Amino acid sequence: MVGSVDLGYGPAGPVGRKGRPSCDVEMQMGTIYDFSAVTLQGVQTPLAEFSGQVVLVVNTASKCGFTPQYEGLEALYRKYKTKGFAVLGFPCNQFGAQEPGDASEIAQFCSRIYDVTFPMFAKIDVNGPSTHPLFAFLKSEEPGVLGTEAIKWNFTKFLVDREGAVAGRFAPTTTPKELEAEIEKLL
């Protein structure tokens, strides 16, 4: 489905919807619904299953100072899921090796410690040559501070509108509770 991905670290390449460098793919991706990801249970899931919902995409980790944000993410999910909202968690081990577990260990941790019920996906890379295509897309659509695309740490959050377009990028220090007003605007 996806061709080679240029992570867009330079000014060359196509321009995304917001006038920023975009990832270079054979078929230019338009929304998050053009991607798929594997769940912690090993099921390939098209993100089109979340079409028409407001989605918060988060790179997560079990041994991070921000790990308690799972509680706030779950609270948001439970509060707004009946209004068409979903949280999608993507474990990542690229920052201080803070997600060392396998899929089963991650699932058990999230369930046992934080009673997570929102969809959790298999561990991925969010930076570098093995970046998951979804995160290459998200970063190209909504770069971070000073226009850099690289994700700086776990619990970086991307808010996506009902049409699958990136509506915002939020630092790990932004708590789930602080996102409520932004989520409500899109619901």
pLDDT in tens, 77-126: 999 999 999 999 999 999 999 998 999 999 999 999 999 999 999 999 99
6 and 16 in contact (C-beta within 8 Å)? no
Q: Report d(CA 76, CA 177) in Å as an integer.
A: 7
More reliable by pLDDT, 10 or 132: 132
Topology of domain 32-186, per CATH?
Glutaredoxin (3.40.30)
Q: Residue 29 has what pLDDT?
A: 52
User: So what's the pLDDT on residue 146?
Assistant: 77
Q: What residues have CB less than 8 Å from 1, skipping those under 6 apart?
A: 27, 34, 36
Least confident of 38-42, 64-68, 119-123: 64-68
Catalytically annotated residue among 23, 64, 92, 110: 64
Tens of pLDDT, residues 9-23: 333 333 344 444 444
The reported pLDDT for the residue numbered 65 is 92
pLDDT of residue 22: 41
Domain ranges of the chain: 32-186
Question: 78: burial class by Cβ within 10 Å (0-12, 13-18, 19+)?
Answer: middle
Query: Has 64 been annotated as catalytic?
Result: yes
Say what angle helices 103-114 and 69-80 make with each other, to 10 degrees. 80
User: Which residues touch 179 (CB under 8 Å, ≥6 apart)?
Assistant: 56, 76, 157, 159, 170
Which pLDDT tens digit goes with each residue over 137-181?
A: 999 999 887 787 889 999 999 999 999 999 999 999 999 999 999
Q: What is the pTM of this model?
A: 0.83
